[in-house]
Amino acid sequence: MLNIGSCGIDCGNCAAYKATQAGDTEKLAELAVKWGGDKGLTAEDMLCDGCTSDRVYKNVLDCTVRNCTQAKGVKVCSQCGDYSCDKLEGLWKNYSLDVDQMKTNLAKAK
């Protein structure tokens, strides 16, 4: 089942999302070390129900695209009148995301 984030990423394929849904605190702790670097993240910081939910992986709180959709009152970027904007396309480029797949996911999320 697709769980589309604000930018079009499928949160359902994310390791933090999967571990959260499975209640796998060991995996969450492992991800905290792997993804947290020197930030000192904990397993609790990794809990995530997907980017459009209220419980997200701590670093997602700083996502400019997610914060933009929340400020504009839309769930995903494709619901915004400014879609597709430089902010979104910059995120896709910075994270080397498959743009066509992100657009396909956002079309499904409308």
Q: How confident is the model at residue 61 (pLDDT cuts 50, 70, 90)?
A: very high
pLDDT the model gives residue 14: 94
pLDDT the model gives residue 50: 94
Q: How confident is the model at residue 53 (pLDDT cuts 50, 70, 90)?
A: very high
Where along the chain do its domains lie? 11-109
pLDDT the model gives residue 37: 80
Rounded to an integer, the average pLDDT of 61-72 is: 95
Rounded to an integer, the average pLDDT of 44-73 is: 95
As a whole-number percent, the residues of the chain with pLDDT over 90 amount to: 85
Per-residue pLDDT for 100 more than 80?
A: yes
Q: How confident is the model at residue 103 (pLDDT cuts 50, 70, 90)?
A: very high
pLDDT the model gives residue 1: 55
For residues 7 and 66, the answer to whether their CB atoms sit within 8 Å is yes
- Residue 71, classified by CB atoms within 10 Å of its CB into exposed (0-12), middle (13-18) or buried (19+), is exposed
